[in-house]
Structure 1
């Protein structure tokens, strides 16, 4: 069985829990272990939070997820711009350096790398914005 989710969400704080719960319910329905679901929820939350806080263009963002018995593939797509810059997705914009141990911000990319596989952040082709892509094996 394959489950595909595509959501267009308002760029506000209320949207992140909705998309996390929706994806988690789908994964739970596929019988995915709670530890793996928690890893995916954490990474998804970080990607959504970055779009909500930093993408300056557009009032919406998209989340696409595809999952089967073996793998979950997630993409979070923003409408563009980080504080007026043309791209959110350049990893330097995400704080590619390690965050200070007591810093309040800057750990999102590190967390996403630690809890997922195949993390990529890329510019959108022919449009402003970025795509955050990550994958996670669902085998326990």
Structure 2
């Protein structure tokens, strides 16, 4: 069984818990292990917070997109904005840990720790940043939608 959904959200802090709750509800309904669901929800929150904070292009674009796929044994999440993208402009962006006394800048590193595979880059065709990540799913014993 496959489940996917896509949201177009305003770049507003209130959109972050909305996306997180939708992901957690989907995973709870499908029967995904709560620890895996929690890891993915934290990673999603960090990616959405980045889009809210940095995803504006200055030309009036006030939205970003979240897409989630639960397919078989894997969940893939993508958060894309229409802002200036990550510095360097390439399709793949290296993530450097922040200084120990920094108050910001840990979100992308946290996503790397919580997910199994992460792609951080810029969208060459339409501009903006794209953060996508995958995680292998574990299922509860009573999972109604567990992969066979």
Task: Give TM-score scaled by structure 2 length.
Answer: 0.83
Per the alignment, residue 80 of structure 1 pairs with 83
Is the 1:2–1:66 contact (alpha carbons within 8 Å) kept by the matching residues of 2? yes
Task: Give TM-score scaled by structure 1 length.
Answer: 0.87
Question: What runs of 5+ residues in structure 1 fail to find an aligned partner?
Answer: none
Which string of whole-angstrom CA distances, capped at 9 and with x for unpartnered residues, describes residues 67-117 of structure 1?
03411100001012159x79597635xxx2212334221111110010001
Choose 1 or 2 for highest CA Rg.
Answer: 2
Q: Which runs of 4+ in 1 moved over 2 A?
A: 85-92, 100-103
Structure-to-structure mapping, 1:25-104, within 5 angstroms: 25-57=25-57, 58-81=61-84, 91=93, 96-104=95-103
Distance 1:76 1:118 in 2: 14
Aligned length: 136
| RMSD, aligned α-carbons | 2.2
Question: What runs of 5+ residues in structure 2 fail to find an aligned partner?
Answer: 140-148
